[in-house]
Amino acid sequence: MKNNFLWGVANAAFQVEGSPKPSDWTAWTEEKGRIFDGSNAEKATDFWNRYEEDLKLAADLGSKAFRMSVAWERIETSEGVFEKSAIEQYRKIIQAVRAHGMEPLLTLHHFVNPLWLAKKGGVLAPDFPELFARFSVFVVGELSKDDLVLQWSTFNEPNIVAVACFLAGEFPPGAKNDFKRATQATFQLSRAHILAVSALRKEVLPRFPKVKVGIVIHLRDFQPKTRNPLDRLIAKISDWTFNRQILKAALTGKIFAWYPGSKFYREDLSHLYDRKGIDFLGINYYGRTMVKFQWTPPFVAISEGEDGPKNDMGWEIYPQGLENVLCDAHRRYGLPILITENGTADHDDSRRPEFIREHLRALKRAIDKGVPVEGYLHWSLTDNFEWAHGHKPRFGLVEIDYATMARKPRPSYYLYQKLIREYSTHDTAIHAPDVSKNA
């Protein structure tokens, strides 16, 4: 792989920082039964204070990049009131990322809304897109000064936001099977991305010509459960609704939002784009989804694949899907790609080593086929607060002892370190590196 390949790790503000400011998620964790193990993110991993230690672990791993997000609720504490001290702390953290020789990759919105915004309706608040654009202009204007941050993503997984908030009921406000609101959320998030990118390109980026803007989407490899044509059709429709509709809007400025059971929400904002809507595509890959047609709404029944081993959350481990989604995204969009997340919940580190090896092999196959992947960020450096699942799932290359906050690298940390070294010294896209099984 190319020498400048961005090997690294990822985290997100609410999941690691601790001492959170009031948000829809702090309110959600206070509601009984919302977090399956009863935990909350009050302390999380205390990254806000212990970032030096974590950044050193990331750098020692061989990371060339570090993906993190900013917490909107820390920065805009009430509507229109921006907190300089929060920006200063982020500046310090990001300077430390650079001091450790890593490229900071920043996300503006990773699932969480300030409480004042949640009270107005969160992503469904009529002015959510305008508020997000204003917030983006402020943050990028501050943190891209002196070329501190050169790569920004607007949203992390807006497609998961629509589904988890309004179909699965796992994120606030916890609605289930509300296809109308899932569609409205899809519309609002698409619109917010478009307004933010257009405002950034007009108001901020002329000062920072090196800055790139993208979006991070969760891509699943949708596969029909049988060869029945209806199953195949519904697999294609699922691919469109979940994987592609927000990306299409983000790229073209034309929104056409729809989930089965809802009317269409559309708007043509392409006049706001004087050039393409994103410079790169961030892909989070966790697995495939088997789909089967059913005669009752929403006309699709989904399940995990059954061939591969399962992780601690019951998710099938399916490395081939990474190659599949990468090749498909390349064919459709032709953009530079970053794998912004890929990882697994594995408390005793029994499956993660194989997970990493096989996913990197799949990545390599995609690169060898010509997919322009610029980096791979493992989710996650440390264990952290896994949303509705609380602290139970262990996604870290580094274990956190929540009683003492001590960090302890797992065997897979050393394996990933070794693989980064091996893949980096084989600076070729032709020969697969000698990836020894006994790391």
Contacts to ligand FCB by CB under 6 A = 12, 15, 156-157, 160, 218, 284, 341, 379, 386-387, 395
**Is the Cβ of residue 157 or residue 221 nearer to ligand FCB in the bound state?**
157
**Is the Cβ of residue 25 or residue 265 nearer to ligand FCB in the bound state?**
25
**Is the Cβ of residue 397 or residue 435 nearer to ligand FCB in the bound state?**
397
CA dihedral 237, 175, 28, 184 (to 10 degrees): 60
**Is the Cβ of residue 160 or residue 329 nearer to ligand FCB in the bound state?**
160
CB of 163 to ligand FCB, least distance (A): 10
Strand segments (E) across 144-264: 151-156, 212-224, 254-257
Amino acid at 390: G
Give the residue carrying structure tokens 């009317």.
263
CB of 228 to ligand FCB, least distance (A): 30
Distance CA 87, CA 390 (A): 27
**144 and 150 Cβ atoms separated by less than 8 Å:** yes
**Is the Cβ of residue 135 or residue 395 nearer to ligand FCB in the bound state?**
395
Distance CA 34, CA 165 (A): 12
Q: What is the b/e burial string over 289-301, where b = at least 16 CB atoms within 10 angstroms of the residue's CB?
A: bbbbbeeeebbbe
CB of 61 to ligand FCB, least distance (A): 19
List, in sequence order, every residue forming a beta bridge with 427; answer none if it has no partner: none
CB of 146 to ligand FCB, least distance (A): 29
Whose CA is closest to 267, among 342, 192, 364?
Answer: 192
- Contact partners, residue 373, CB within 8 Å, separation at least 6: 5, 326, 337, 338, 339, 363, 366, 367
CB of 53 to ligand FCB, least distance (A): 21
**Is the Cβ of residue 297 or residue 309 nearer to ligand FCB in the bound state?**
309
Tell me whether the omega of the peptide bond preceding residue 129 falls within 30 degrees of 0, making it cis.
Answer: no
Q: What is the b/e burial string over 123-148, where b = at least 16 CB atoms within 10 angstroms of the residue's CB?
A: bebeebbebbbbbbbebbbbbbeeeb
CB of 112 to ligand FCB, least distance (A): 10
- Contact partners, residue 49, CB within 8 Å, separation at least 6: 18
Per-residue tokens: 309: 């081993």
Helix axes 84-99, 47-61, angle to 10 degrees: 20
**Is the Cβ of residue 286 or residue 293 nearer to ligand FCB in the bound state?**
286
CB of 390 to ligand FCB, least distance (A): 11
**Is the Cβ of residue 54 or residue 386 nearer to ligand FCB in the bound state?**
386
**362 and 320 Cβ atoms separated by less than 8 Å:** yes
Distance CA 232, CA 238 (A): 10
Per the rule left: phi > 0, alpha: psi between -120 and 50, beta: everything else, 63 is: beta
Q: Is 173 exposed, middle or buried (0-12, 13-18, 19+ CB in 10 A)?
A: middle
**Is the Cβ of residue 253 or residue 396 nearer to ligand FCB in the bound state?**
396
CB of 37 to ligand FCB, least distance (A): 15
**Is the Cβ of residue 5 or residue 286 nearer to ligand FCB in the bound state?**
286
